[in-house]
Structure 1
Amino acid sequence: MEEYLKDISDGKLYSSNDMVKVGCHDCKGCSACCCDMGESILLDPMDVWRLERNLGQSFEQLLSGAIDLHVEDGLILPNLKMAPSATGPKCSFLNEEGRCSIHGFRPGICRLFPLGRNYEGEKLSYFLLTDACPAKNKSKMKVSKWLEMDGVKDYEHFLVKWHSLTKSLRQTMQNYNEEEAKRKNMLFLQMFYFTPVQQENFYDGFYERLEQFERR
């Protein structure tokens, strides 16, 4: 494991079949991980697809409310927006009771916390962020159960492909002039976010888009 991971984790890597101490007893009203997160809750195409379907909103409508766009290493990506409140910035989807109003279809990064993802080639593993969650007496849970995602292996395969694509784009963006970077970003956003996947199986639509994008 890289040195920086050793500094923020328990020094172990976990698979989706491993047990890890993350169970926070349904948070019991704690919303610490939903507040003052800046632009860190990045949304991948599956996150947006699930939000669109469950909220009945287009990507453009989400952008006018709970989602922002920001630039990260030259690549434009969407993220959950923090809304101002009396106690400080909090997720736009956090209700007055301090509970997640989209819990059943919350983004992958939200499902993951307090775990992080570690990518090594085609392999995805997880690490536990120490001291990230203030809940006491956490219980052990299997990573796959904690994620609450059907077909975890399919989901992980998608994440690896998405990570590879965005990592490659960040690297190549550094070599583009302003006009080329703008064109590539617009194509990227159009194909993976603005144009909704119509297939009932998200992965079918995603891999079709990925193949088309990589040819252009």
Structure 2
Amino acid sequence: MEREIDLKEISDGRLYGANDMVKAGCNECAGCFSCCQGMGNSIILDPYDIYNLETGLGTAFEELMENKLELNVVDGIIQPNLKMQEGNDCCAFLSGEGRCAIHGFRPGFCRMFPLGRIYEGNDFCYFLQVHECIYPNKTKVKVKKWLEIPELGKYEAYIKDWHFFLKDAQKIVKETENEAILKSLNMYLLKQFYVRPYEDLAEEKGKGFYQQFYRRLEEAKEAIQLYR
């Protein structure tokens, strides 16, 4: 969760860092998959999520779009999200046994749940969504252990850079009423960060992503200025 929120209504009132303990442990869900259904288009995917899905499944973005992902407009910018299955409203990656088929490389939003992110200034903190997870008797766990993300410091820096870049792009969208410009900008961003495949540059998963992402980010920062 990254939009404007009232922490008093949905959280325990605390903000957390990666090394803090938070009451989110759920014994690996123990058969529960409530958070994997009825999520609509809320599980928005960033470029790192797509990279992990592509490398983890050995498939391309276009193939994922056939039945696992869909595109929606988020504050004026087209972004992919996990697709819910018709009929049971469950995540397309949920198995018949109610288990996550991509657990080892699941998206960042799934890793955080029931945590969310709130941005202040040029940084963000985590908060606990106390009404979202129905699993009882949760235990305390360190935030970074809960996330299970390699090189967490590098990942968090990337998340901030991606977030604020999107904010700049969304500002451009709000300032123009030219539909052709809006379409062109969205198609550029979609191809630049999602459709165009990331090469697996290193043996250790994830090592090559950041180098490629930041090269693309610098290109995009210059490119979007042409849409102002």
TM-score range, shorter chain: over 0.9
- The farther-off stretch of 42-51 and 175-184 is 175-184
Please list every run of 5 or more consecutive structure 2 residues that lacks an aligned counterpart in the other structure: 203-207, 224-228
Match of 2:91 in 1: 91
Whole-angstrom CA distance in 1 between matches of 2:7 and 2:188 = 33
The answer to whether 1:10 aligns with 2:17 is no
**Structure 1 residues 3 and 132: CA distance shift in structure 2, 3 A:** closer
Cα deviation code 1:117-137 (max 9, x no counterpart)? 011233121000012111111
Whole-angstrom CA distance in 2 between matches of 1:42 and 1:60 = 17
SS of residue in 2 equivalent to 1:118: strand
Aligned residues: 213
1:76-115 equivalence runs, <5 A: 76-85=78-87, 88-115=88-115
* CA apart distance, 1:3: 6.3
SS of residue in 2 equivalent to 1:137: coil
Identity of aligned residues (%): 49
Match of 1:205 in 2: 212
Match of 2:53 in 1: 51
SS of residue in 2 equivalent to 1:95: coil
* CA apart distance, 1:204: 0.5
1:180 alignment partner AA: I
Whole-angstrom CA distance in 2 between matches of 1:7 and 1:170 = 27
Whole-angstrom CA distance in 1 between matches of 2:64 and 2:222 = 29
Whole-angstrom CA distance in 2 between matches of 1:167 and 1:89 = 30
Moved over 3 A (4+): none
Measured on the aligned residues, the alpha-carbon RMSD in Å equals 1.1
SS of residue in 1 equivalent to 2:22: strand
Cα deviation code 1:59-80 (max 9, x no counterpart)? 1111111000011221100000
**Structure 1 residues 125 and 26: CA distance shift in structure 2, 3 A:** same
Please list every run of 5 or more consecutive structure 1 residues that lacks an aligned counterpart in the other structure: none
Match of 2:226 in 1: none
2:101 alignment partner AA: S
